[in-house]
Structure 1
Amino acid sequence: MVPLHAACVWLSLAPLLVLGVPPIWTQPEQVHLSYAGAPGSMVVTWTTFNKTESKVEYGLLGGRLFEMSAKGDATLFVDSGEERRKMFIHRVTLTGLKPAANYVYHCGSDEGWSDVFLFTALNDSSSFSPRFALYGDLGNENPQSLARLQKETQLGMYDAILHIGDFAYDMDEDNARIGDEFMRQIQSIAAYVPYMTCPGNHESAYNFSNYRNRFSMPGQTESLWYSWNLGSAHIISLSTEVYFYLEFGQELLFKQYEWLRNDLEEANRPENRAVRPWIITMGHRPMYCSDDDQDDCTKFDSYVRLGRNDTKPPAPGLEDLFYRYGVDVELWAHEHTYERLWPVYGDKVYNGSRERPYVNPKAPVHIITGSAGCRERTDKFNPNPKEWSAFRSTDYGYSRMQVVNATHLYLEQVSDDQYGKVIDSIWVVKEKHGFSAWL
């Protein structure tokens, strides 16, 4: 038995002994998936705080564990806070995956491996009916919807997650430690399904550097804008923030607009629209909303919708562009509420009919889903909304979407305040897509 005085000496030395052990900075963390944009592919992204090899070992579920491996590389990210914290962002692209097959994987190196995770390779068939969870404005303080989303993701309810801007609140805070903590929190979702993103205003610090470095979206624009295909949908992610942070480069606004026009033109080629008839956009700040916080979309002439006249040349908005190319559904966040709009264009309602407004609608359908949970709490609504506002809720929650087939798309809103109850749902039915559908 250790004498009491000896035990006390050991206890007094314990803090020094702990401090004398260097932290293990080669251990992978913040693991998340994204779709690379090419059939049979998946990107695995993670973080270490020392430089290590970037390797993913994987195999088919039920087969030999880790029988395949792929290597990638690590990028040094130096946060712009006072401490200039360094981290290494690792990216490995898996290719040749079998559509709809289940895989087991871990990532890291011989200096440290992650936990073991599962994912299902995306089905590249245009007849596939993908299921999404979608939301914006999720922080690591008061992330009320997170636990329900974690469980549903691990139950296999979703094929992809769409996070429509505003992460962590904010990723740059405390010398980017808040960003680290948030990425650890969402690992229990994002390590299992592709976690597809777009930037919001809360990512603006240091020219969106935390967002641009931490995520790995398709294309060559540091995840600011891109598009990808899944099932019968062509999905476009864009940055609404190019309209608001001109100090980071006014040319980005025009560059994105030109890219959007070219992408929409390509998606509308008859042979492409026949295969992927649904065009769905996701961007952080809405064109329309009926919240009472005096934000840009409450003024009915938002920059995103109508553009800016104080730039040279004047910057075009997105409403006419999306209408001209027959965008079917527009997903937004930013307002910490849920709001479903009637089909709307030019501030006017264009329902398919009085009885069935979303059957062959004559304008795009807008959904605002920014109430996943953050430290800023939920917003309040204007008591006298315009006629295009169809349904509103201030409950914490998130949305689900299924692109069922070429003619039917389903949307619903889940209330976390009401223990997962579905509080709103619609079917969007379109026998025809493209600009001619409005006529």
Structure 2
Amino acid sequence: VFIFFCAELAGQTIVRGPYLQSGTTSSMVVRWRTDLATDSKVWYGSSPTNLTFNITLPGSRTEHVMQINGLSTNTTYYYAVGNSTGQLTTPSSGHRFKTNPAPGSSLATNIWVLGDCGTANDNARSVRDGYYNYIGANPTDMILLLGDNAYELGSDTDYQGAVFENMYEARLINSPLYSCPGNHEMFSADSPTQSGVYYDIFTFPVAGQAGGVASGTEAYFSYDYGNIHVISMDSDDTDRSAGSPMMNWLEADLMANTKEWVIAIFHHTPYYSTSTNGADMRNNALPILESYGVDLVLVGHTHNYQRSFLINGHYGINFDSTTMAVDLGDGRLDGDGAYFKTVTGADAGKGAVYILTGSAGQVTGHPLDDPIMKVGLIELGSVSIEVLGHQMDVKFLDTNGNIDDYFTIVKQSPVGASPVVSITSPLDGAYYPAPQAITVNASASDPDGTIDFVSFSVNGQLIGTDNTFPYSQPWTIPADGIYNLTAVAWDNDGNSKASVPIQIFAGLITTCSKVNASSDDAEEDPSGAVSLISPDLELVNDAGLQTVGLRFTGLDIPKDAYITNAYIQFTADETGFDDPCILNIYGEDADNAATFTTSNGNVSTRPRTSAVINWTPPIWQNVGDAGPAQQTPNISAIIQEIVTRPGYTQNSAISIIIDGIGRRVAESSNGAATLAPEICVEYDLDPPVFDCPLLFANIGDPCDDGDPCTTND
């Protein structure tokens, strides 16, 4: 949904906004820009048709900054903006704001986080649309920008296209916006003097009016929202040394904080960083943050997504998992279990998750080589944070609104023993058609008390709760796929315990994976020399017939699954060609394919599957095409041979080897990470039914069993 306000009144036009800033429990700042200077007026009230209150600021200006005071806590108001002559926006259900909840209250809160979103292009809009698809009609209580909000120079014109026009208007009119500065902001701003574009267009709470200790500068500040304390810091243009004003303020602010959750944002990543900016924050800010129990640290600067384990005390170069890891699990309720943090005792507040999310506008490939990182994704996306009471759920959303990573942090005040819970049905590994209505049942007990309720989740999403024994939740399997089911029991002492997750399967399952590292696509020339850094992939003639290797991870295909279809999708990098082009596609005959190296012959000497598929691709007409012409034939026979190997496991990597004659030129992971080769595999867990009993044929041969259905013919 694009909303561009260009209302006119007496010759005046709104050219930016309105947008919301610096919400508190009793006030809200509304900003907008007009082409002509006039006075400023805001109307507000309990409904779009009942804007019974108004405030006016005399004088003339084009930058309108209006603070509405005297509001009720946790209350929704509707508003319109204009001047003493009349309204420039039409009252609507979208033009609204909600004051902050009472300090310490535990209300459901939704936060949207965008890192390095400032490309002002369709990449950013696709990330926006993915979040909109995910959140639907649910409110967004605040938006956090992690810097580099407007490329290239952070100028006013850059900000207009990257943030305010044809970009985030539909949320800016009803969700307060906060930020930290990035390095691109500083081309047009100066933090020591709080001058320039960045400081002109934002109004942040610097006087402690929204909670937290007053900082006196918009370069760094803090505020409260219910039981959440948010800290924004400047990792680019403010002194980051130990004992600096920012570090002293940070400690004073955290010392005064009483809110349950602490979220910190700044631009430069403290891990996987060679810059002094990131190192300074790691050495000087992180010890302060962690000593006061920070829960989540969000950064950008590098244009991909990486998420750490729950860690504590990693301030140097080397990570020691025996002393610095609090929980090396995946943090998923339907996986290894949530990350639990105690709020009492010697380990109170210990452990934080660090998220690098800098792909809201573009992506660049980096290997996941920092040992603190649990997940790494080279894809466009943004982060959604959902907080309710003692639980925080964090999700990375792609451009379709799919959840590509997720984890949960739970705060506990241990009193007595934890409950015991397990899912009793369906059984782990069960297979169903889809759609199919089922009931998830759980057994739960508490050794020293009673069970308050049991919550049920599917793939990390809550599907319901039950507070009555026997504990159950009806649910309909919506479509083919893999589903992870988890139950969490909560007892009368506030303790919780997640069950061991079970996995069920429905129908045909499709899984896809892109080449995601330089060492996962390789070109070997006729002499045996291997390159891992080519910006494209010549299939296969490049001043000689070469051998190309592709390695795919994260497919999670169970051992002995029945492969029904598989293909590799390439993207055309060039339209030049050599014909005839006949490509031979093999699999690497290995239990778990290793990454490619530059050792001589590392691609061509790998063992190959007996199955081979020949491909004669048509001429690729346009750069950027990724359609049927760039898609291989069905290579299911190759994948089937690999997944039935004795040593293959669900976590195994799969490699494909291509040789032949002729030339087509495809994108590589180095040339364009988002356009790298992608394999898609469709599989079933039930064996195929061969219902042509009277024919002497093999499965896969054409036949007609005489019934009107073509299934298994």
| Fold similarity call, TM over 0.5 | yes
- Which is richer in strand? 2
| Count of residues in correspondence between the two structures | 361
| Contact 2:309–2:328 (8 Å) recurs in 1 | no
| Contact 1:152–1:158 (8 Å) recurs in 2 | no
Does residue 130 (structure 1) correspond to residue 109 (structure 2)? The answer is yes
- Tell me how far 1:181 sits from its aligned partner: 2.9
- Structure 1, residues 292-348: CA drift from partner, whole Å, max 9, x if none? xx6528x9x712212xxxxxxxxxx21211122221211112221111101233234
1:402 is matched with 386
Counterpart residue type for residue 130 of structure 1: T
2:297 is matched with 330
2:44 to 32, 46, 58: 58
Structure-2 separation of matches of 1:402 and 1:74: 42
Counterpart residue type for residue 264 of structure 1: L
Structure-2 separation of matches of 1:282 and 1:403: 17
| Contact 2:25–2:99 (8 Å) recurs in 1 | no
| Contact 2:154–2:198 (8 Å) recurs in 1 | no
| Contact 2:146–2:265 (8 Å) recurs in 1 | yes
1:196 to 170, 178, 183: 178
Structure-1 separation of matches of 2:99 and 2:268: 31
| Contact 1:45–1:91 (8 Å) recurs in 2 | yes
> CA separation of 1:251/1:325 partners in 2, compared to 1, >3 Å: closer, same or farther?
closer
2:161 to 176, 181, 185: 181
Alignment map for 1:276-315 (pairs within 5 Å)? 276-289=259-272, 295-296=274-275, 302-306=279-283
| Contact 1:40–1:124 (8 Å) recurs in 2 | no
Does residue 105 (structure 1) correspond to residue 79 (structure 2)? The answer is yes
2:219 is matched with 224
Does residue 351 (structure 1) correspond to residue 326 (structure 2)? The answer is yes
> CA separation of 1:427/1:151 partners in 2, compared to 1, >3 Å: closer, same or farther?
closer
- Structure 1, residues 215-264: CA drift from partner, whole Å, max 9, x if none? 11111545321111112111111111135xx7xxx899922222111111
Counterpart residue type for residue 133 of structure 1: W
> CA separation of 1:252/1:320 partners in 2, compared to 1, >3 Å: closer, same or farther?
closer
| Contact 1:338–1:393 (8 Å) recurs in 2 | yes
Q: Taking structure 2 as the reference length, what is the TM-score of the superposition?
A: 0.47
| Contact 2:46–2:78 (8 Å) recurs in 1 | yes
Structure-2 separation of matches of 1:127 and 1:386: 35
2:67 is matched with 93
- Tell me how far 1:108 sits from its aligned partner: 2.1
Counterpart residue type for residue 17 of structure 2: Q
2:367 to 358, 363, 382: 382
Alignment map for 1:208-223 (pairs within 5 Å)? 208=190, 209-220=196-207, 221-223=216-218
Structure-2 separation of matches of 1:72 and 1:286: 42
- Tell me how far 1:357 sits from its aligned partner: 7.0
| Percentage of identical aligned residues | 23
Structure-1 separation of matches of 2:294 and 2:179: 19
Q: Taking structure 1 as the reference length, what is the TM-score of the superposition?
A: 0.74
Structure-2 separation of matches of 1:74 and 1:151: 42
- Tell me how far 1:128 sits from its aligned partner: 1.4
- Structure 1, residues 160-215: CA drift from partner, whole Å, max 9, x if none? 11112121214644xx3222233223222211111111111110023341110101
1:415 to 390, 395, 398: 398
Structure-1 separation of matches of 2:251 and 2:407: 29
- Tell me how far 1:103 sits from its aligned partner: 2.2
What secondary structure sits across from 1:392 in the alignment? strand
Structure-1 separation of matches of 2:87 and 2:274: 46
| Contact 2:20–2:172 (8 Å) recurs in 1 | yes
Does residue 369 (structure 1) correspond to residue 349 (structure 2)? The answer is no
Structure-1 separation of matches of 2:131 and 2:172: 10
| Contact 2:146–2:181 (8 Å) recurs in 1 | yes
User: Any unmatched runs of 5+ in structure 2?
Assistant: 1-9, 191-195, 208-215, 330-335, 342-348, 415-713
Structure-2 separation of matches of 1:100 and 1:284: 30
Does residue 242 (structure 1) correspond to residue 237 (structure 2)? The answer is yes
Structure-2 separation of matches of 1:352 and 1:28: 49
Structure-2 separation of matches of 1:151 and 1:113: 29
What secondary structure sits across from 1:212 in the alignment? helix
What secondary structure sits across from 1:162 in the alignment? strand
- Which is richer in helix? 1
User: Any unmatched runs of 5+ in structure 1?
Assistant: 1-22, 77-87, 307-316, 434-439
What secondary structure sits across from 1:303 in the alignment? helix
Structure-2 separation of matches of 1:97 and 1:396: 39
Structure-1 separation of matches of 2:293 and 2:365: 32
- Larger relative contact order (CA 8 Å, sep ≥ 6): 1
